[in-house]
Structure 1
Amino acid sequence: MKPAIIMGTRPEIIKLAPVIKCLGRRRHYTVFTGQHKDYNMGRLFMRQLGLPEPGYSIAPRGGPAARTGHMIQGLARILEEDRPDAVVVQGDTDTVLAGAVAAVRCGIPVFHVEAGLRSRDWRMPEEYNRVAVDHLSEMLFAPTKSARSNLTSEGVHGRIVITGNTAIDAVNMYAGAAKSGRPGKILLTLHRQENVDDRRILNSILRGIVMSGEEVVFPVHPRTADRLQRFGLYKMLERAPNVELLDAQGYLEMLGLLQGCLFVVTDSGGLQEEATAPAIRKRVLVLRKSSDRPEGLGDLSTLVGLSDTAVSRAIREAAQNPRLASRSYPYGRGGAGARIARFLGA
């Protein structure tokens, strides 16, 4: 089998790296859609993870709708020219949707890594993407039993296999090369559209961070940096004595921040997974109304919500007892990349 592995954002690069590494010299090629145009959010991650240059690249233009259409067109041309036996996509981004639609229209089966996640929150564009792609896929690599249950309850037609989560593989592979972090500080990340594109919500979250008074390090996603400037909120953070602002970080730098932090405050799904890895094991406060990673809720992560008082209170309480007592590994302890690669290497 010769699969085409399509990726376009930082999470996809990270989570597909273990699959690509496990494939080794077996026939495959990669396509980079350029959905994350910023070097620190895309190509830097490939270089740090030791991945080969993509066989093909696309430079999409315009807003979300135009960009997705442009990616479908570009991917269709590539797939028609170099007919792979399968198209592999990961997660729930616009790249994943574009890759799946292009593959189906070219008569090529779709293999979906991290299939079956559901938040039931239709404010999230990712929810539309992941549901559509799961129903377009012939092979669904579900990371957990909960994800498999979602797929079976929806009656997807493809074959479902539980694999574990490749995010854990990535941490296992690269934690030893992590850069030095900010020991003793709380790690904050924010990037989700439903949080950062709404001035009221973003302002509420940030007020809660500042009100907590706890020492926070905040690597700022390019999308979030743009909204902070647009909404006039950057100065509030620059003046806050408890917030250290950083530019967007590479993967090895983020691993260092994860290893050194007290705990994590985030709206990221990937960080919720990475924090449970054997080399990390950190508590997570989730800045969302619902979670598509229910397996970790309770002992490992806590849904905080979006109000300033709830965010501030949760941070202060966690700072009193940041230690993670749970010994569970809801996303596995590794090996997902090898399991998936076995289906691609036939």
Structure 2
Amino acid sequence: MHRRLIHFLTGIRSEYDILAPIIEAVGARPDLEAAVIATGAHLTGLHGYSVQQIRADGHRIVGEVDSLLASDGLSGRVKGMALQLTGMTDIFARERPDFLVVMGDREEVMTGAIAAAYHRIPLAHVGGGDHADDDNVDNIIRHAVSKMAHIHMVTTELSAKRLRALGEEEWRIHVTGASGLDRLLSVPLMSRAELDEAVGVDWAGAPYVVLLFHPTITDFSQASEHIKAITRVLEHSELRVAAMAPNSDPGNHAISAEIAEFAARCSRVKVFNHLDRQKFVNLLRHASLMIGNSSAGILEAPSLGLPVVNVGIRQRGRECGDNVIFTGYDEREISAAIDKATRDAGFRDRVSQCRTPYGDGRTGARIAAILAEVESGPKLLNKRFILE
């Protein structure tokens, strides 16, 4: 029996964590074989050298493409894409997959789509059709990759509707939910005391918030000003702060520098460059609040009953649960939102019972079944544009 070989492309820890349940589900099937292409931030110590997590999870890495330049501007990200294209071309020449799976909207998703298209490799896109009104380049990349993809694994029916509006054929679109929820259900629960010991804090059960703030390409030059608005509010609160490193997008150096300074002047702050999946999920489980602009606050936090304060334009207009409070960068507005999220009993009760629009935590198995059962050949590769 021929086992379909599925390559998964990933460039950063957050992306890999979303893909991981799918990789595991593919690897568990006798008719499929999984392999990972690691690139971007996975291969640098600046972002925790997270390729080690992929190895620790037991997945075969078919190739590593070193592409992250030491740049905090727009050109570095674009030049890195050229390195990714070259590296993936070499990988496909050495070991051609039956499918390439990409997730979301980062630059490796676009380079993977281009490389697969020219090699006539079917492309499966996870998370297509999602949209935020934040004027970020991510939206453009995500929708462009959807037009290049042959199979769509979308998170919600609204995302599926957007793909139909792009002219995609109905049979290519599968509403599978968000695979990040699979991870939440599979990670063993740690007690608060076990968590504090595991992450190296002595907070004695005191309330804490998780800070995870990424730069946005539309206003990355103001990243320092934006993160300082958040840290100043948190510094004047009584909350402990678990501060996570930002992603590798332009503006990340300024955010990392301010977080380091914040930790130096405030003893209640603990900075994490990288946490493995078990620690990170349990960090969210025991938190009083998540603040920043991470998609984890939109996709995964509702299933944990975790309040989220989303600061700035990133994620604006995205489909979300009742757990999210959106604010601008005004410190008084941020402070009021934190107070509501941590002290308003009625709000916290609603959040504890809120429903997520992103599925039931069984996405990985659904996607693996689709990859195993979809008919390969000319019909799959030759895309048509459907007009209503």
TM-score category, normalised to shorter length = 0.7 to 0.9
CA distance in 2, matches of 1:236, 1:72: 38
Shift of 1:203: 2.4
Q: Please, which runs of 5 or more residues in structure 1 have no aligned partner? A: none
- Paired amino acid for 2:195: S
Q: Please say if residues 288 and 305 of structure 1, whose CA atoms lie closer than 8 Å, have aligned partners that are also in contact.
A: yes
Counting only pairs closer than 5 Å after superposition, residues 200-279 of structure 1 correspond to structure 2 as 200-221=225-246, 226-228=253-255, 234-240=260-266, 242-277=268-303
- Is it true that 1:9 corresponds to 2:17 in the alignment? no
Gap regions ≥5 residues in structure 2:
70-75, 197-202, 374-388
Contact 1:5 1:28 (C-alpha < 8 Å) held by counterparts: yes
Instruction: State the shift of 1:171 in Å.
Output: 1.4
**In the alignment, what sits opposite 1:331?**
358
Distance change in 2, residues 1:7/1:57 (3 Å)? same
Helix, strand or coil at the partner of 1:345: helix
1:315 is matched with which residue?
Answer: 338
Greater shift after overlay, 169-178 or 139-148? 169-178
| 2:378 matched residue in structure 1 | none
SS in 1 for 2:159: helix
Aligned to 2:319: 295
Shift of residue 107, structure 1, vs aligned partner: 1.5
Displacement after TM superposition at 1:145 (Å): 1.2
Shift of 1:284: 1.2
Q: Does 1:45 align with 2:69?
A: no
Which residue of structure 1 aligns with residue 376 of structure 2?
none
Matched residue SS, 1:303: strand
SS in 2 for 1:276: helix
Match for 2:307 among 283, 301, 311? 283
| Shift, 1:186, TM fit | 1.5
Quick one: distance in 2 between partners of 1:316 and 1:149? 37
In structure 1, the partner of 2:66 is 59
Amino acid at match of 1:57: E
Aligned to 1:107: 120
Report the counterpart of residue 148 of structure 1 in structure 2.
Answer: 160
1:120 maps to which of 126, 133, 157: 133
Q: Secondary structure at the match of 1:4?
A: strand
Q: Distance in 2 between matches of 1:177 and 1:89?
A: 31
Q: In 1, Cα distance between the equivalents of 2:11 and 2:308?
A: 26
Aligned mate of 1:180, from 195, 205, 212:
195
Change (3 A) 1:82 1:202: same
2:302 is paired with a residue whose SS is: coil
SS at match of 1:98: helix
**Mapped partners of 2:129, 2:52: distance in 1:** 29
CA distance in 2, matches of 1:4, 1:214: 43
Structure 1 pair 75–306 and aligned structure 2 pair: CA distance change class (3 A): same
d(CA) in 2 for partners of 1:109, 1:307: 46
2:73 maps to what in 1? Answer: none
Query: Residue 296 of structure 1: SS of its match in structure 2?
Result: coil
Contact kept? 2:98, 2:122, Cα under 8 Å: yes
State the shift of 1:320 in Å: 0.9
- Per-residue CA distance 1:182-233 (angstroms, 9 max, x = gap): 6421111112334765232232233233344543322333757732465x67
Q: Give the stretch that moved more between structures: 133-142 or 240-249.
A: 240-249
> What is the deviation of 1:291?
2.4
Matches within 5 A, 1:67-86: 67-86=80-99
* Amino acid of the structure 2 residue aligned with 1:283: P
Classify the secondary structure of the residue corresponding to 2:234: helix
State yes or no: 1:21 paired with 2:21.
no
Q: Which residue of 2 aligns with 1:190?
A: 213
Amino acid at match of 1:282: L
For 1:180, give the aligned amino acid: L
State the alpha-carbon separation in 2 of the partners of residues 286 and 41 from structure 1: 27
Distance in 1 (CA, whole Å) between partners of 2:270 and 2:14 is 24
Pick which of 188-197 and 300-309 moved more.
188-197
1:166 positional shift: 0.2
SS at match of 1:235: helix
Query: Secondary structure at the residue paired with 1:295?
Result: coil
CA-based RMSD of the aligned residues comes to 2.6
Paired position in structure 2 for 1:132: 144
Task: Give the deviation of 1:157 after TM superposition.
Answer: 5.0
Letter matched to residue 227 of structure 2: L
Does the 8 Å CA contact 2:306/2:352 hold for their aligned counterparts?
no
Deviations, residues 78-126 of structure 1 (Å, cap 9, x unaligned): 223322222111111111111111101111121101111111322x232
CA distance in 2, matches of 1:237, 1:325: 30
**Structure 1 residues 339 and 222 mapped into 2: Cα distance closer, same or farther (>3 Å)?**
closer
| Aligned residue type for 1:205 | I
Q: Which has the larger radius of gyration?
A: 2
Query: Residues 82 and 129 of structure 1: is their aligned pair in 2 closer, same or farther, counting only changes over 3 Å?
Result: same
TM-superposed CA distance for 1:69, in Å, is 1.1
1:13·1:42 contact (CA, 8 Å) conserved in 2? no
